[in-house]
């Protein structure tokens, strides 16, 4: 899909990968709506790159519906959606501790990351289906954000990995189901990117990830994620695919180095 002049929504646009994607879409001439729970952060990004900020909790269907309606009034219904909003609540140990607290932590992680993706996908698609078809009958494109943790989640990350695995797994069935409407669905599975989400990692963990990196031997830059998101939007043959963007990094099981570093003895629920 041509990007120039299109209405585009980026969730999680107040920070990290979403902020870089919003800026790249704005540079490419899209009318960008920056959605975030922290509307002040989204607004600050919008001031630097152009576009308009909207408050939105992706885990709340009514909040997503309200934000998309406001976007529709301002820019027209979005044909481009890049969903980046998510959290990482940290370790949720499978054994020991309070089972009720464990399930609550797991449910919160899944509600924000996976239910959030479904809310945005389904409500955005519902607005797209009312738009006129473009070339090839295309009405819109959705890019979700999974993680390489969807495929090789580390010890302690069952909740985050399951939430991202769900996003990977829904990509093909969503693309198949929405094909009748001319809506493509893809996902990017990033490796380790330098964003505020990763800034909290202790130095020794950053060093271990870097040691396992292949090439290039560094963390990804948010602009590189944005570049792939825009390439997916532009290329109509890309559909139903989860694309790793990780410089060939494969996450280690982690139990070894995290145990040695004392992390597996850390408090259980750190959200």
CB of 22 to ligand NAD, least distance (A): 11
How many residues appear in the chain? 271
Q: Which is nearer to ligand NAD, 138 or 246 (CB)?
A: 246
Nearest to 79 by CA among 28, 15, 24, 32: 32
Q: Which is nearer to ligand NAD, 131 or 159 (CB)?
A: 159
With binding defined as CB under 6 A, does residue 14 bind ligand NAD? yes
Asked if 3 and 31 touch (Cβ cutoff 8 Å), the reply is: no
One residue of 9, 28, 34, 59 binding ligand NAD per CB under 6 A: 59
CB of 186 to ligand NAD, least distance (A): 14
CB of 175 to ligand NAD, least distance (A): 19
CA distance 268 to 145: 25
CB of 222 to ligand NAD, least distance (A): 7
With binding defined as CB under 6 A, does residue 150 bind ligand NAD? no
Q: Which is nearer to ligand NAD, 106 or 139 (CB)?
A: 106
CB of 153 to ligand NAD, least distance (A): 11
With binding defined as CB under 6 A, does residue 85 bind ligand NAD? yes
Coil, helix or strand for 30?
Answer: coil
Nearest to 149 by CA among 20, 249, 18: 249
CB of 12 to ligand NAD, least distance (A): 3
Query: Which residue's CB comes closest to ligand NAD?
Result: 16
Asked if 2 and 141 touch (Cβ cutoff 8 Å), the reply is: no
Coil, helix or strand for 140?
Answer: strand
Residue 254, C-beta contacts closer than 8 angstroms, at least 6 positions apart: 154, 155, 156, 157
Q: Which is nearer to ligand NAD, 79 or 108 (CB)?
A: 108
Q: What residues from 153 to 212 belong to the interface with ligand NAD (CB under 6 A)?
A: 190, 192-193, 195-198
CA distance 270 to 226: 29
With binding defined as CB under 6 A, does residue 57 bind ligand NAD? yes
Active-site residue, from 84, 125, 131, 160: 160
Q: What is the largest CA-CA distance in the chain?
A: 58
For tokens 């963007």, name the residue: 245
One residue of 37, 46, 118, 185 binding ligand NAD per CB under 6 A: 37
* Sign (positive or negative) of CA dihedral 54, 55, 59, 65: negative
Q: What is the DSSP letter of 113?
A: I
Q: Does the annotation count 204 as an active-site position?
A: no
Q: Is 15 left (phi over 0), alpha (psi -120 to 50) or beta?
A: beta
For tokens 């996902």, name the residue: 187
Taking contact as CB under 6 A, which single stretch among the options 2-10, 85-93, 123-131, 203-211 is the one that binds ligand NAD?
85-93
One residue of 7, 21, 145, 186 binding ligand NAD per CB under 6 A: 145
Residues forming contacts to ligand NAD in the complex (CB under 6 A) are 11-12, 14-18, 36-38, 41, 56-59, 84-87, 112, 116, 145, 147, 190, 192-193, 195-198
């Amino acid at each position: 899909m041509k990007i120039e002049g299109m209405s585009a929504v980026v969730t999680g646009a107040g920070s990290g990968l979403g902020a870089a994607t919003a800026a790249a879409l704005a540079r490419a001439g899209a009318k960008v709506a920056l959605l975030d729970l922290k509307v002040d952060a989204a607004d600050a990004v919008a001031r630097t790159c152009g576009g308009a900020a909207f408050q939105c909790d992706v885990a709340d269907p009514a909040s997503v519906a309200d934000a998309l309606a406001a976007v529709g009034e301002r820019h027209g219904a979005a044909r481009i959606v890049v969903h980046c909003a998510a959290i990482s609540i940290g370790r949720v140990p499978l054994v020991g501790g309070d089972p009720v607290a464990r399930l609550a932590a797991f449910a919160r992680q899944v509600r924000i990351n996976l239910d959030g993706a479904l809310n945005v996908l389904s409500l955005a698609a519902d607005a797209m289906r009312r738009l006129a078809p473009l070339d090839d009958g295309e009405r819109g494109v959705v890019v979700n954000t999974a993680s390489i943790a969807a495929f090789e989640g580390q010890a302690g990350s069952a909740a985050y990995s399951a939430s991202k695995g769900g996003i990977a797994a829904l990509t093909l069935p969503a693309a198949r189901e929405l094909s009748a409407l001319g809506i493509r669905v893809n996902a990017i599975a990033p490796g380790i990117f330098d964003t505020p989400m990763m800034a909290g990692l202790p130095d020794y963990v950053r060093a271990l990830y870097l040691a396992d990196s292949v090439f290039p031997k560094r963390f990804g830059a948010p602009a590189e994620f944005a570049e792939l998101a825009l390439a997916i939007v532009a290329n109509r043959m890309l559909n139903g695919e989860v694309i790793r963007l990780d410089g060939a990094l494969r996450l280690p099981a982690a139990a070894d180095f995290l145990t040695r570093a004392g992390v597996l003895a850390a408090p259980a629920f750190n959200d």
